[in-house]
Amino acid sequence: MANNKVTAGRDSLGTFAPKFAELNDDVLFGEIWSREELLSPRDRSLITVTALMSNGILDSSLKFHLQKAKENGVTKTEIAEVLTQLAFYSGWPKAWAAFNMAKEIWVD
């Protein structure tokens, strides 16, 4: 993720909430996600998917981070295992929603 400059905040909220957009793009994705020597993008993806699903954020944010997880090397088998584990700690309906998104991303 460090090589790809994220502009989602500015694209969506740049004129409405410029400071939030800046923090999203430059701090969260620019500074935090780029600290690969401390935690790999793959691990950050797994943590982020877990946090989103656990908190019931089952919208485009989860879908984006599932796609990022795949790009960061998480396999279909691994994401299925993660979501199965999370189902018991975060909720069965949340797992169903996440599985439906993941199925669209990890297409055979």
Whole-prediction pTM: 0.89
Please say whether the structural domain 40-108 has been given the CATH code 3.40.50.300: no
Alpha helices in the chain (DSSP H): 8-13, 18-22, 41-54, 60-71, 76-90, 92-105
Amino acid 5: pLDDT? 82
Domain residue spans in the chain? 1-38, 40-108
Q: Extract the tokens encoding 59.
A: 């919208």
CA 97 from chain centre, in angstroms, equals 14
Compute the distance between CA of residue 8 and CA of residue 24 in angstroms, rounded to an integer.
8
What is the C-alpha separation between 25 and 75, in angstroms, rounded? 27
CB proximity list for 91: less than 8 A, separation 6 or greater: 56
- Reported as a single tens digit per residue, the pLDDT across 39-97 is 999 999 999 999 999 999 999 999 999 999 999 999 999 999 999 999 999 999 999 99
DSSP 72: T
